[in-house]
Amino acid sequence: MNEKVFHTMRGYVLRRGMMEAMQPGLWVHAHVIDAWTDILNYKEKLKSNSTVNRYFFDTSMVRQFIFDKNIPFNERFHNFESNIKDAMKKDKKLLTFEKVHLCFYQFIKKNHFYIICINLEEPAVDVIDNRNSVAKFSRAYRDAPNELKILFSRYLMRVNHKSASTLGGV
């Protein structure tokens, strides 16, 4: 169960037990999701410059403290900005999001996994969820899409991205 089966260039290690859980009806381990984000980002680097560029953040990018209203906004923003820099390994080209059109943020809350996609070309925020739920949007995701949009817009302002102000209004 603890046997190493796969590892990515960024160091995500998948063990047999994590991979065996990839069956219908079973929960997918966060490390499996993180390994896929690494693989997808690597494949993005191999694409030509004329295609839509995407960046996939792993599950550690968005921590719950980022949305904690008891923590001052500037402190939450500082943590968010630090997470972006860590995720992108301080790559100056990536950090400006100049060539990135779509950003995918992975969320795991309790037993619920979903993705928030931010489109920087046609500023929009979309939630991608595999759960067939009738729960109200506000109950299922709380403030996560809006808070993420606010934090990310602020980051984009800091790096002088062209979509910073329009994303804030979405």
In SS3 terms, the chain reads as CCCEEEECCCCCEEEHHHHHCCCCCCCCCHHHHHHHHHHHHHHHHHCCCCCCCEEECCCCCCCHHHHCCCCCHHHHHHHHHHHHHHHCCCCHHHHCCCCCCEEEEEEEECCEEEEEEEECCCCEEEEEECCCCCCCHHHHHCCHHHHHHHHHHHHHHHCCCCCHHHHHCC
pLDDT of residue 156: 95
Domain identity same for 67 and 103: yes
Residues 156 and 107 in one domain: yes
What integer pLDDT is reported at residue 138 of this predicted model?
Answer: 57
Q: Are residues 98 and 161 in the same domain?
A: yes
For the chain, what is the domain count?
A: 2
Verify that 102 and 159 share a domain, yes or no: yes
41 with 64, same domain: the answer is no
Domain that includes residue 60, residue range: 48-168
Q: What is the pLDDT of residue 1?
A: 65
Q: What is the pLDDT of residue 160?
A: 93
Together in a domain, 52 and 115: yes
What is the residue-level pLDDT of the chain in tens, covering all 170 positions? 688 877 777 777 777 777 666 666 667 778 888 888 988 998 888 887 767 799 999 988 887 777 788 999 999 999 999 999 988 887 788 889 988 999 999 988 777 788 999 999 988 999 888 776 655 555 667 778 888 999 999 999 999 999 998 887 76
Pair 87, 31 in one domain: no
pLDDT score for 93: 80
